[in-house]
Structure 1
Amino acid sequence: METGQSYKTTQSHGTILVETCKTLDEYRINSLRSGEGELFLKGIHSLCTPEKIMEVATHFGEIFQMRYKIDYYGRGRGFAYLQYIDITSSALALNSLSNRFLQNGLNVTVRVSKNIRELSLHGINTLAPQEVYQQLQKLFEFEKLTIYGYSPDCYQYNIRFENNAAACLAHLSLRTHIGLFGSQAKVIWLHLNQPFRSINISAHCCLKWNRQIINKDVDLYLLCPNKCRCSQMLNLIRLT
């Protein structure tokens, strides 16, 4: 489906994707794909169409893409992600797009996207790290897998993706196929500075890890408990 002559629209996995038809150079594409300048739009009425959002947003420049989130029935979930081709347009929109929406009868909040793109997989007690890695490779592509071995046969798998869009698709895939990793396996979102969220350890703990580089996209960290004496380490030992 075409949205005017400059944009094309597709729909998949709860997302209506509107993206430019313009040809961009590889450097710019890579920067945008990594999430540069992405904005988060919140408070969108469920009956507001992607076309209306685009009509208002293009006042500040050409759009690279918009991810408009919908539910099972095709109704808007109240939020979307927006990127401009030009980073200057993104800065202008951050300051003025909310007012532009108000002028058009829409109460939409605009802020910088957190571009959360890491997932954490834990509670796996039936597979070895190599087997988990192989299963993940079959499900989707990822940039980096970091494995933390924090007690014998207990691992947390942090998976980093190119951007939030890729992470969202992977999150859906993991929830659908979670049984592949055992009955106790769980997947959660990892926020910034929370690498140990699933095991209740903050990034400020003095945990000492022995790093082993398995290959270019996998790092394995094994805990060295005899080198860590902080209260968080003692709590972790009690928990496990």
Structure 2
Amino acid sequence: MAIQIQNGDEQLLNMVLEDYKPFIKKTVSSVCKRFIYESDDEFSIGLIAFHDAILKYNHQRGSSIISFSEVIIKRKVIDYIRKNGKIQDISFDFSLFENGEDSSGVTIDQIVSVEEFGKQEEARKRREEILYFQEQLAQYKLSFHDLVEQSPKHEDARLNAIEIAKKVVSSPELLDYLTEKRRLPIKKLEKQVNVTRKTIERNRKYIIAISLILIGDYVYLRDYLKGRLEI
């Protein structure tokens, strides 16, 4: 069939591409470590790679077209992930590798390079998020040093401050006051929480910081505080 397609049989090509979609999905999923839908970009990359593999296949080299296609698809998907920064939860069983490559011909160096790129990309995004948060804090005349110095020292006090922050962001009136005046609405807050004004004032900076995390698109900071920030 590959030879017929290489000779220009478009109808056969379309039939093969349709029939081998499950194989393409399985191969792409093995790289991405998640179920792949036909609407995913990664599937499109795999489909194009399978098409290319059919056109380039030479049976005289000994390998089957399935094995050859699997190598091409995996390499194209890995290249796509690296170039587009679409880092996923990619994990591999290195016990499957022999002589530096797995049964499909994907080398350990390729896998490691993808994982290393993922770590670097995640570190870059985390730095950018922290810098953006630092800029937001500055608008409220706060700094990381302030938070370190004045954050509640005890766990129960921190949890109480987080609950107050949740109250702020869940109330349009309180949230508008915070974002417009760049100050905590202490007078309004003390009427809605079961803590003293003195406690609110003492933890003011920490409450503002948590409120900003709650309303902002802070993936890593939210993950760091997960389990406490559900509203």
TM-score by length of 2: 0.23
| Higher RCO structure, 1 or 2 (CA under 8 Å, sep 6+) | 1
| Bigger helix share | 2
TM-score by length of 1: 0.22
Between Structure 1 and Structure 2, whose CA radius of gyration is higher? 2
| Bigger strand share | 1
